[in-house]
Amino acid sequence: MAYKMLYTHRLDQLNPKGAELESVYLVRDIRQRTSLPLVPHKVQEHFSEFYLKDEDTDAMEQALLLIEPTLEMIKQLQNSKDPLYEEINLVRTLQLLQFQIEPLQNNIAFSREIKNFQVEFAARATAVLNCVNKAKGREEKVAANDELNRLFAQILRTTDFRFHFVDIVNEGRVSDLQGLNEGMMRGYLFHFTLEEELKKLSFDEVKLRIPPDKLAEVEKVHKYIKIIKKGIDQAYDGNMRVVNWAITLYAYVKMVMPL
C-alpha cells in the first residue's frame, strides 16, 4: 500500500523543503520495507506503486480522440442558431475543450516516456543508491550525484527539484472539466428564461419544455465530456503518482546517505 504524503497534495507543492519534511516519515516506512544493500526486486516492488499504467495512457488517448467530435457537435448546436441554446456558454465550452488538447497531447507523450523509463528505473536506482551508501572518493560521489540528478530530471521533467507541470494536465485542467461536467448536469448549454431564473427553477423542471431530440443531442455531448473528464482525471492522478515517486526517491537518498 502506498504511503500517503502528509504535505504534498498538489503538483505545485513539490519542492526541496516539502520533500525534506515528507522524508522524515518516509524513511521510517522504507526501513520497514527493506535493508541495505538494496536489491532491485525490492526497489521495483516499492516504486511500482507510483508507475504509470497502460490504462492511464488509454484513458488519456480516448479523451483526446473525443475532443474533436465533441467540438463538432457543439459547433452544430451553435450553427443552428436555435434560441433554446445559450450562445455564450456554447462559446465557452468550445474554448474550454480546445484548451485541453495540448496538455493531453503532452501528457500522453510524457506517459510513454515514463513507461519506458520504468523498465530500467529499479536497476539504476538500486545501483546508484548502493553507491551513495558506499562511495569513498570524490569521483565516486560526483558520479553518484550525477546519476541521481539524471533520475530526478527524467521523473520531474526539469533539472531543479520541482515538477514541470504547466504544459501537461494539472489542477487547472481538472477544475475545468469538473466545472463543465457539473454545469452540464444543470443544463449549462440551454438558455434559461428570465422567469425561470427568477423562480430559480432546476434543470429538471426546465427540461420539461425542451424537445426530447434537443435533450438527446446535448446528452450525447455530455456523455463525451464525461469520458474526456475521466481521461483528464486519470492523467492528473498519474502525474501526482510521479510526484510521490520523486519524493520517495528523495527519501531513499536520505536513508542511504552515510551519517
DSSP assignment of 125-167: HHHHHHHHHH--SHHHHHHHHHHHHHHHHHHHSSSSSS---TT
Sign of CA dihedral 164, 166, 168, 172: positive
Does residue 6 lie within any of the structural domains? no
151 CB-near residues (< 8 Å, 6+ apart): 121, 124, 125, 128, 249
Backbone conformation region of residue 192, classed left if phi is above 0, alpha if psi is from -120 to 50, else beta: beta
Q: What is the predicted pLDDT for the residue at 221?
A: 98
Q: What is the predicted pLDDT for the residue at 141?
A: 87
Rounded CA separation 22/7 (Å) = 7
Q: What is the predicted pLDDT for the residue at 1?
A: 42
DSSP 193: P
Range of the structural domain that residue 62 is part of: 11-256
Q: Which residue has the higher pLDDT, 7 or 193?
A: 193
Q: Is 180 helix (H, G, I), strand (E, B) or coil?
A: helix
Least confident of 111-120, 139-148, 183-192: 139-148
Span 79-134, pLDDT tens digits: 999 999 999 999 999 999 999 999 999 999 999 999 999 999 999 999 999 998 88
Share of the chain above pLDDT 90, in %: 90
Residue 26 has pLDDT above 80, yes or no: yes
Does residue 4 lie within any of the structural domains? no
Domain count, the chain: 1
Does residue 155 lie within any of the structural domains? yes
DSSP 209: G
Does residue 2 lie within any of the structural domains? no
Span 192-248, pLDDT tens digits: 999 999 999 999 999 999 999 999 999 999 999 999 999 999 999 999 999 999 999
Q: What is the predicted pLDDT for the residue at 3?
A: 53
Least confident of 25-29, 179-183, 205-209, 226-230: 25-29
Does residue 102 lie within any of the structural domains? yes
Q: What is the predicted pLDDT for the residue at 257?
A: 86
Does residue 200 lie within any of the structural domains? yes
